[in-house]
Structure 1
Amino acid sequence: MNSYIFPIKAAVITFPFLAMLITAPFLIYYYRKYGQLGKLRSLILYSFVFYLLCAYYLVILPLPSISIVAQMTGPRYELHLFQSWENFINQTVLQLNNPSTYLPAMKQSVFLEPVFNIFLLFPFGVYCRYYFKFSLGKTILASFALSLFFELTQLSGLYFIYPRPYRLFDVNDLLHNTLGGTFGFACAPLFTFFLPTRSELDSESLAKGQQVTLLRRFVAMVIDWIAIGFLSSLLKFFTNILPANLRALFNYPIASFTLAVMLYFMLLMHLWNGQTIGKKVVRIKVVEPDREHIRLWSLVKRYSAFYLLLYGLLQIFNYTMTHLPTNNHSVFIAYVTFGLMSLGILLLFLFNLLYALIRRKTRLFHDKASHTYTISTLLKKEVEHANF
């Protein structure tokens, strides 16, 4: 039993970290398509990711040492289909006319191993039918593909990290796993009858997608800074043609940060009428009241108040705290004063953010300072169509 419990414990420990990475594509996709993720959809997706992690860890854990695996001489694969059934017939203590043998028979490995492999992909079949709306044929193919991935992971010695497989590649596992996914598909209504349908989830998300939440804006911001990092890496190849004094300027973080904000969040957003790469992905844009095209000056005010002001305050606070130990009393007082002032303004921003989260407000201080709004670009007809 410990061989089953240990992988589940490992999944629980690593889940918060891996879930962020694994669910990121889902998050981007649903914000792009519906403009909203929704609490229930989030719970379903996170449960699906957690299930996949548990299943994967059950397949690969516990990990033996490489030296032990190198000394293994057992078979690498089992290609005899229905070998598990033959093993059960030959080794089981089950006697149908003797009920006292039922429980001991259920404790034997020849019974537990096939049953475990069936149950391993049973939840997968439920997810395929309920959430992904797969047909029976697609569910069977998806279950077989997932099982094949698990078996090839074992056959490759965990992607050739080990000199040989430390677990057996078994075609019977493919059969049992696929059966498990099929059974899960058949039994899905028994486990999901109390949940809203996928269509109802989609309609609700589209309707709520007209509202721009802070989480949606945060996802756009993360995508934008990933894009900036990628573009900055590309630009480094062309900096050699610049004069030496200009190249030296890029070595200062504050200079490169300011340039990135000016080019990306001001100039590019002006050219794209209030959108960036991240905002296009999650389908939002920054607008001004009664204007079809946002002004460059409004973007300068907006992102100077957000990025440049906050970044500058962070630099001031960091500098004053770093140089605070000094024998000059006047300099000490100046450092403390500027440090506390910058910290106070930063705390005000944090308070503004927490207040907006608690009260479910959508506008922060830089929105109000620049008289701009963030709106959804989801078409109204998409929302209306989802309600039918």
Structure 2
Amino acid sequence: MGSRVLPAVFATFYAVVFAVLLFVPYVAREYRRRGELGAWTAVLRFAALLYLCGLVDYVLSPLPPITPGFCRFVGEMRPQWEPLRSFRGVRPPGDWNGVVALLAHDSVQQFVLNIALFVPLGILARRLLRRGVFVVGAIGFATSLLIELTQLTGVWGVYPCPYRLFDVDDLIANTCGAVLGRFAAPAVRLLPVRPSGLLPTQPRPVTRFRRLTGMCCDLLVLWWIGSGAAKLVDIGLRTGVLQHRWWLDATALWFGPALFLLLVAVVGGSTPGQHAVRLRPVAASGRRPSPVAVLRRWSVGVGGLGLVQGALNLAGLSSVWLAVTAVWCAVHAVGVFRNRDHRGISGRFAGLHVVDAREPRQQPTVAAAT
């Protein structure tokens, strides 16, 4: 795999990992700050995350191993302080063949690529921060300077000497790229972003997208807690604090997190995912659901998934957890789409509906599909 492709692969992997880890806090923040989760806004946020991961990867990777004689191996990297020095010897084109030769010149290609690398930064700085040309240019310059200083200092002292060149031409090209991105940012308005125009405190309809987002949040919370608990158990076993028991892994990974989510639903009245997307389960009368109804909903929903996965773990069939989770997600997603009020399979089984948490409790209403 080429040196230009491999960093992109790693950047995509890291961006997906960070997106999964930050998904629930991001959803909860958007519903409280904006009142809703815009799909295209989320895409832009992920694009920003992917770009930052890619920027770090392309700047630092590949990280060479520190071996004896490392500085002799990489050679002496003296900073290049003369502006546009890389264009020395580049002749202006006199005809079409000259233009082709100019575009094929290494210095020209490097300069253009450095410009293109920072165009997304200018777009994101304009769209996400709402800043003008001067501020966007300053952000581009500061980011480029940080990169160049990282290279000049050998990743801030990690390496005994620089293994990449500090070049003032990169500062110029990167800053120009950020400014160009600022002027290209209006093109992002072509994306079908349609805010509702409502205040963050005003209720919204209970849509399929919203219900599925809440279910994804519950699934992630179950997985996070289980992964964290399993890691603690592993540390305890390695250090001798815990002794291995046949039920320990299944309890840490699945049973414990599932019971924790049940406790949260009973005490708080809603699951973490419902709380994130600002939904509240109610009985048919509009009142808060009884503990029995919450238990029924949990047993068919994320709690039932945890119990099944824990049982499979005890039976030595933990390798099928991904397939079981995929089937569970598909079945419940179909249930959300087949119900007009989007309460899903677990809601129907428990006799519960979901309403916007911003609806007054004195006058609970079941939101209709839109």
Which residue, out of 52, 74, 77, partners 1:75?
77
Q: TM-score, normalised by structure 2?
A: 0.70
> Which residue number corresponds to residue 321 of structure 2?
none
1:128 aligns with 2:125: yes
* Partner AA of 2:91 in structure 1: V
CA contact (8 A) 2:214 2:274 kept: no
**Equivalence for 2:239:** none
C-alpha contact (below 8 Å) 2:118/2:178 kept by paired residues: yes
Count, aligned residues: 338
1:154 equivalent to 2:151? Answer yes
Aligned pairs for 1:1-388 within 5 A = 6-14=2-10, 16-24=12-20, 25=22, 28-34=25-31, 36-67=36-67, 69-71=70-72, 72-78=74-80, 80=81, 83-88=82-87, 90-94=88-92, 101-158=98-155, 162-189=159-186, 191-192=187-188, 194-196=190-192, 200-201=194-195, 203=197, 210-211=206-207, 212-223=210-221, 226=224, 251=248, 253-254=250-251, 258=255, 260-262=257-259, 264-276=260-272, 278-306=273-301, 309-314=304-309, 316=311, 352-353=331-332, 355-356=334-335, 359=338, 362-377=342-357
Amino acid at match of 2:346: H
Structure 1 residues 346 and 129: alpha-carbon distance in aligned structure 2, compared to 1, 3 A threshold: closer
- Distance in 1 separating the partners of 2:299 and 2:62: 52
1:269: Cα distance to partner?
A: 2.9
Aligned-residue offset at 1:354? 5.0
Letter in 1 for 2:106: S
- Comparing both structures, which one devotes a greater share of its residues to helix? 1
What is the rounded CA distance, in whole Å, between the counterparts of 1:62 and 1:346 in structure 2? 36
What are the superposed Cα offsets for residues 187-225 of structure 1, whole Å, 9 maximum, x if unpaired?
333x3353346xx34749978774332133212442365
- For 2:281 and 2:224, the matched residues in 1 are separated by 20
Residue 94 of structure 1: how far off its partner (Å) = 2.5
> CA deviation digits over 1:155-210, x for unaligned, max 9?
34346554432111234322321221012212333x3353346xx34749978774
Distance 1:150 1:37, change over 3 A: farther
Judge conservation of contact 1:36–1:216 (CA < 8 Å) in 2: no
Shift of 1:359: 4.6
Give the Cα separation in 2 of the matches to 1:73 and 1:347.
52
Asked whether the 8 Å contact 2:144–2:175 carries over to 1, the reply is: yes
Partner in structure 2 of residue 335 of structure 1: none
Aligned-partner SS, 1:91: coil
Aligned mates of 2:49, 2:285 — CA distance in 1? 44
What SS is found at the alignment partner of 1:287? Answer: strand
Give 1:363's aligned amino acid. R
1:331 match: none
Amino acid at match of 1:299: V
Please list every run of 5 or more consecutive structure 2 residues that lacks an aligned counterpart in the other structure.
236-241, 318-323, 361-370
- Which 5+ residue runs of structure 1 have no aligned equivalent? 238-243, 323-344, 381-388
Counterpart residue number, 1:330: none
Q: Which amino acid aligns with 1:272?
A: G
Q: Which residue does 2:320 correspond to in 1?
A: none
Instruction: String of CA shifts for 1:306-352, please: whole Å, max 9, x gaps.
Output: 45544444455566677xxxxxxxxxxxxxxxxxxxxxx99985663
CA contact (8 A) 1:154 1:169 kept: yes
Deviations 1:86-123 (A, max 9, x none): 442x422236x677544433433343333322222112
> What is the TM-score with the length of structure 1 in the denominator?
0.67
Letter in 2 for 1:40: W
Give the distance between the partners of 1:152 and 1:355, measured in 2 at CA: 53
